[in-house]
Amino acid sequence: MSKPAVKIEKVVHQLRRSTSRLPDPSVTLVGKRWKNPFLVLISCILSLRTQDRTTLPAAERLFALADTVQAMLKLSTDQIEKAIFPVGFYRTKARTILRICRDLMDRFAGQVPDDLDTLLSLHGVGRKTANLVLIEGFGKPGICVDTHVHRISNRIGFVKTKSPLETEMVLRKKLPKSFWNEYNSLLVLWGQNVCKPISPLCSRCCLKAMCPKIGVTRRR
């Protein structure tokens, strides 16, 4: 007998309790600490394909050198590379950061735009980054879908999708808007600590009684 459809309200409430003592994801911490959309945007770039334990110290080193668009443009590519190493693709990211800064100055008087489509027009900014900037930088509604959100949303049976973009579009229709801004951070924390890609820790999961474990072939 198949389990009834998961109730997303219960999932969110359970994850709120279970993640309350875990440290926030790096970009969320940047948003809370600096309350600056530009620094949130740069931390998003640094975080791509990089673990949080590497991202936040790299962001702190870079922001100690430059915390505005104008100041960042005074740094050389080598200076940025040295500050952000060892984030993944640090050389490419240094060039991307400078290109974004030049674009912000040329097109937006040094200000980070606060709408999704305009953010997506910036070099190196994809939907994940744009949505996260809206959420953590501006406190605006957004649905940020990374690998954890895509995987867990499918694993619990809330969506049935094949790509992060498809997951975002379905979540925009199905997920109550009151949950949008916290959904990413909750699932990222759970994905990093419990609902792992391979052999998730189902015995420790607060959702184990309600989760159909779709696609899970091995678990602990």
Q: Among this protein's residues, is 128 annotated catalytic?
A: yes
Question: Token pair for residue 202?
Answer: 């189902």
At residue 5, does pLDDT exceed 90? no
Give the pLDDT mean for 57-67: 98
Instruction: Verify whether residue 177 is a known catalytic residue.
Output: no
pLDDT tens digits, one per residue of 158-183: 999 999 999 999 999 999 999 999 99
pLDDT value of position 170:
98
Indicate whether 71 pLDDT > 90.
Answer: yes
CA–CA distance, 78 with 209 (Å, rounded to integer):
51
pLDDT, residue 66, reads: 98
Q: CB atoms < 10 A from the CB of 14, how many?
A: 17
If you average pLDDT over residues 61-78, what whole number do you get? 98
Give the CA-trace dihedral at 178, 43, 66, 106, to 10 degrees: -80
- Does residue 137 contact residue 37 with C-beta atoms inside 8 Å? yes
How far is it, in rounded angstroms, from Cα 156 to Cα 95? 39
* Domains detected in the chain: 8-23+143-204 (1.10.1670.10), 36-138 (1.10.340.30)
pTM equals 0.94
Residue among 128, 173, 208, 213 flagged as catalytic? 128
Contact 161/205 with Cβ under 8 angstroms?
no
- Reported as a pLDDT band with limits 50, 70 and 90, residue 1 is very low
Residue 3 has pLDDT above 90, yes or no: no
Please identify which of the residues 146, 162, 177, 208 carries the catalytic annotation: 146
